[in-house]
């Protein structure tokens, strides 16, 4: 910080120079972290909402009742998409990790209420690290079930073997981040129910995709008996800027365990349903606005377009000998392994990065094999003509040169 401060344009110029060195979040050259739509009208809307709510605070619903009503509408809309029965409850949060923290907290309290001293989370190895993080933060044990090597979904026998009377929560992904495959939610929920545990469906990625698929997939939502909670992120395939997810509970009373309420200090009653205190209302109100703007038809169109794009990427990449898709992905995440020992997909990814394409990398730790990964966004439709030939060129160069790479990249 300078003593005298700096003119606005000077500060912005430095920011722009710094941003110019990072990948462009709008450019459709990234395959995760950001979800560019290429839809200018939709972006105009999210910008306008953020402009209007730039200095908002979503902490106190009594001071801004209209803001809070719109946030409740987001929870209601998402509840409708995933079949939350009447009597259920939930809230918005700042993102998938916070939704998962809240689901694990509620499950821990449920387990404690039935006398479990040290509850356990059981999750397939494909579950997002947020479950291990929640167990770490909230002092639960964490047990990881292996994946079925072919489908890359949770190995149900192994999972059953890890669930016992200490289990607070069993996780199923709809669909999984590493391979985009849908766990057998009905079987996982039944295993959980047998020992009185909850079953959380991680629909952080799939929750705004699966309801809009043209063809049904196996049941994964609250229509499945034994599913007790779910997380759905709007800041992924709800196409809003970061800061919005929804966590839902089949039992509205237990959703109350999310709440922290305190009045033993001199400044009045404090209450909040998640981790953050003061926070911007903009991401959640942007979610409300995008739901209004796109409507069901808009989301169906976005999902249809992403499935088409994913299919084209898959067909294009798989013209390369030995590049094989993992499992049976159901939505917008695809991943590949190399069946040719002489072809390193990391080396292909290194060459792609030199051309400005940021493919994600799988390590294969505890499930599947090392390989490549993409999350498809609507804007990728506009770059296929460059992406696929570049991939094929890079692949051929690796075949020609025998280049190798041990750069497994990083998720975060």
Q: Which residues bind ligand PLP (CB under 6 A)?
A: 95-97, 128, 130, 173, 177, 202, 204-205, 233
- CA-based nearest residue to 313, from 255, 270, 267, 377: 377
Identify which of residues 116 and 240 has a Cβ nearer to ligand PLP in the complex. Answer: 240
What is the smallest separation between the CB atom of 235 and ligand PLP, expressed in angstroms? 6
What is the smallest separation between the CB atom of 173 and ligand PLP, expressed in angstroms? 6
In 10 A of CB 374, how many CB atoms? 25
- CA-based nearest residue to 331, from 302, 366, 371: 302
- Tokens at 133, concatenated: 């993080």
Identify which of residues 95 and 378 has a Cβ nearer to ligand PLP in the complex. Answer: 95
Identify which of residues 92 and 97 has a Cβ nearer to ligand PLP in the complex. Answer: 97
What is the smallest separation between the CB atom of 111 and ligand PLP, expressed in angstroms? 22
What is the smallest separation between the CB atom of 123 and ligand PLP, expressed in angstroms? 11
Identify which of residues 204 and 345 has a Cβ nearer to ligand PLP in the complex. Answer: 204
Identify which of residues 89 and 95 has a Cβ nearer to ligand PLP in the complex. Answer: 95
Sequence-ordered list of residues with C-beta below 8 angstroms from that of 37, at least 6 positions apart, any chain: 43, 239, 302, 377, 378, 379
Question: What's the Cα-to-Cα distance from 249 to each of 30, 211, 267, 284, rounded to whole Å?
Answer: 33, 18, 31, 19
DSSP class of 37: -
- Return d(Cα 185, Cα 320) in angstroms, integer: 34
What is the smallest separation between the CB atom of 283 and ligand PLP, expressed in angstroms? 11
Q: Beta 141-145 vs 120-124: how paired, if at all? A: parallel
Question: Closest residue (Cβ) to ligand PLP?
Answer: 96
What is the smallest separation between the CB atom of 247 and ligand PLP, expressed in angstroms? 11
**Angle (CA) 319 324 328, round 5°:** 120
Identify which of residues 50 and 128 has a Cβ nearer to ligand PLP in the complex. Answer: 128
């Amino acid at each position: 910080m300078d003593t005298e401060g700096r003119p606005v344009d000077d500060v912005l110029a430095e920011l722009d120079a710094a941003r110019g060195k990072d990948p462009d979040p709008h450019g459709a050259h990234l395959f995760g972290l950001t979800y560019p739509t290429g839809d200018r009208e939709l972006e105009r809307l999210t910008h306008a909402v953020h402009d209007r709510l730039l200095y908002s605070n979503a902490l106190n619903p009594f001071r801004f009742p209209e803001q809070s009503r719109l946030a409740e509408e987001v929870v209601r809309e998402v509840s409708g998409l995933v079949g939350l029965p009447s009597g259920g409850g939930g809230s918005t949060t700042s993102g998938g990790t916070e939704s998962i923290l809240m689901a694990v907290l509620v499950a821990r309290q449920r387990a404690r209420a039935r006398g479990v001293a040290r509850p356990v989370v059981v999750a397939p190895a494909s579950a997002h690290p947020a479950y291990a993080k929640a167990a770490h933060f909230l002092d639960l044990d964490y047990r990881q079930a292996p994946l079925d090597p072919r489908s890359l979904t949770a190995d149900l026998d192994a999972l059953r073997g890890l669930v016992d009377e200490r289990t607070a929560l069993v996780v199923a992904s709809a669909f999984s981040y590493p391979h985009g495959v849908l766990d057998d939610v009905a079987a996982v929920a039944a295993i959980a129910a047998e020992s009185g545990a909850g079953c959380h469906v991680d629909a952080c990625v799939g929750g705004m995709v699966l309801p809009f698929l043209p063809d049904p997939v196996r049941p994964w939502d609250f229509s499945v008996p034994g599913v007790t909670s779910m997380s759905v992120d709007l800041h992924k395939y709800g196409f809003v800027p970061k800061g919005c997810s929804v966590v839902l509970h089949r039992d509205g009373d237990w959703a109350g365990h999310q709440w922290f309420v305190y009045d033993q200090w001199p400044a009045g009653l404090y209450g909040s349903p998640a981790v953050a205190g003061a926070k911007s209302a903009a991401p959640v109100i942007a979610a409300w606005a995008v739901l209004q703007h796109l409507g069901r038809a808009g989301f169906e169109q976005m999902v249809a377009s992403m499935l088409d794009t994913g299919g084209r990427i898959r067909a294009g990449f798989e013209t390369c000998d030995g590049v094989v898709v993992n499992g049976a992905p159901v939505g917008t995440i695809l991943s590949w392994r190399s069946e040719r020992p002489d072809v390193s997909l990391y080396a292909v990814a290194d060459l792609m990065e030199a051309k400005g394409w940021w493919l994600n990398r799988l390590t294969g730790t505890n499930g599947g094999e090392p390989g490549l990964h993409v999350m498809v966004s609507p804007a990728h439709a506009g770059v296929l003509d460059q992406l696929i030939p570049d991939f094929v060129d890079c692949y051929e160069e690796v075949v020609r040169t025998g280049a190798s790479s041990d750069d497994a990249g990083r998720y975060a």
